[in-house]
């Protein structure tokens, strides 16, 4: 301590004294650290009890369960891994597990494509193709415009009409009468007499008349 007192004297300090302090003040928060009591069961045994009421779970559920008991996070993973190895648990997907004695749950039913909006009809009970066939079957004449109007009234998207009509046409289910107009089944084409152009017909008439006059003159 001598050299410290000498330095303090150089700084102009006097009547310097010192004493040995043996009591150390502590705060309540800095009290003795509490340590967890040694576990009387293994991690696998605790998880085995947990899954009796939770046949399907996420690994995060086990971690949270272990935290309430003061167990380490790593123990949860080791316990699950041990039960999978013993074939007591089955891994369904990353971080998801299930008891091996539980039957696999049926997958959820597929949801209808697209979101249902206000005023939209619920998932259709009949396909667009069947709707068209029901509309045109046995008819001698129908148009694509009529089908589009029908789809609009049924609150369906008419974009699929043309592809369906083309496929029915290729399969010879329907026949094209003219652009945009069709008929059910095969339609016999009417034999229409070809019209002779006026100029050709007039020339033929002139030739015939000349021949007739020539014959009369010779006679």
pLDDT digits 0-9 by tens, 48-85: 999 888 888 999 999 998 898 888 989 989 999 999 99
* 3-state SS assignment for residue 139: coil
DSSP 32: P
Q: What fold is seen in the domain 128-184?
A: Arc Repressor Mutant, subunit A (1.10.10)
Q: What fold is seen in the domain 41-99?
A: Arc Repressor Mutant, subunit A (1.10.10)
State if pTM tops 0.75.
no
Assign residue 39 a region: left if phi > 0, alpha if psi is -120 to 50, beta otherwise?
beta
**CA–CA gap between residue 10 and residue 3 (Å, rounded):** 11
Q: Are strands 96-99 and 89-93 parallel, antiparallel or unpaired?
A: antiparallel
Q: In the chain, helix, strand, coil percent, each to 5?
A: 45, 10, 45
Contact 59, 105 (CB under 8 A): no
pLDDT in tens, the chain (219 residues): 667 777 777 777 666 666 656 656 565 555 555 555 566 789 899 999 998 888 889 999 999 988 988 889 899 899 999 999 999 999 988 889 999 887 655 555 555 555 555 544 445 688 999 999 999 999 999 999 999 999 998 889 888 899 999 999 999 999 999 988 999 988 766 655 555 556 656 666 666 665 655 555 555
**CA–CA gap between residue 46 and residue 69 (Å, rounded):** 10
Virtual torsion, Cα 213, 215, 218, 219, nearest 10 deg: -110
Domain chopping of the chain, boundaries: 41-99, 128-184
Long-range contact set of residues 154-160: C-beta below 8 Å, sequence gap at least 24: 154/121, 155/119, 155/120, 155/121, 156/121, 156/124, 156/128, 156/131, 160/128
CB atoms within 10 A of CB 96: 14
**CA–CA gap between residue 84 and residue 89 (Å, rounded):** 5
Same fold flag, 41-99 and 128-184? yes
Contact 43, 86 (CB under 8 A): no
- pLDDT score for 121: 47
Assign residue 183 a region: left if phi > 0, alpha if psi is -120 to 50, beta otherwise?
beta
**CA–CA gap between residue 74 and residue 72 (Å, rounded):** 5
């Amino acid at each position: 301590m001598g050299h410290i007192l000498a330095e303090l004297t150089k700084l102009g300090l006097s009547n310097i004294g010192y004493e040995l302090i043996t009591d150390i003040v502590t705060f309540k928060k800095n009290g003795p650290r509490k340590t967890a009591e040694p576990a009387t069961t293994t991690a696998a045994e605790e998880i085995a009890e947990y899954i009796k009421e939770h046949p399907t779970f996420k690994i995060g559920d086990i971690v949270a369960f272990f935290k309430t008991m003061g167990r380490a996070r790593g123990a949860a993973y080791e316990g699950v891994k041990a039960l999978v190895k013993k074939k007591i648990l089955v891994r369904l997907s990353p971080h998801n597990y299930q008891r091996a004695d539980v039957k696999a749950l049926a997958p959820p039913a597929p949801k209808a494509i697209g979101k249902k909006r206000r005023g939209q009809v619920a998932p259709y009970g009949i396909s667009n193709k069947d709707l068209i066939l029901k509309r045109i079957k046995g008819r001698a004449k129908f148009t694509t415009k009529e089908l589009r109007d029908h789809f609009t009234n049924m609150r369906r998207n008419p974009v699929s009409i043309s592809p369906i009509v083309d496929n029915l046409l290729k399969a010879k289910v329907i026949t094209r009468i003219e652009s945009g107009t069709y008929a059910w089944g095969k339609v016999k084409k009417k034999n229409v007499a070809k019209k002779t152009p006026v100029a050709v017909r007039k020339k033929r008439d002139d030739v015939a008349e000349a021949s007739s006059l020539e014959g009369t003159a010779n006679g």
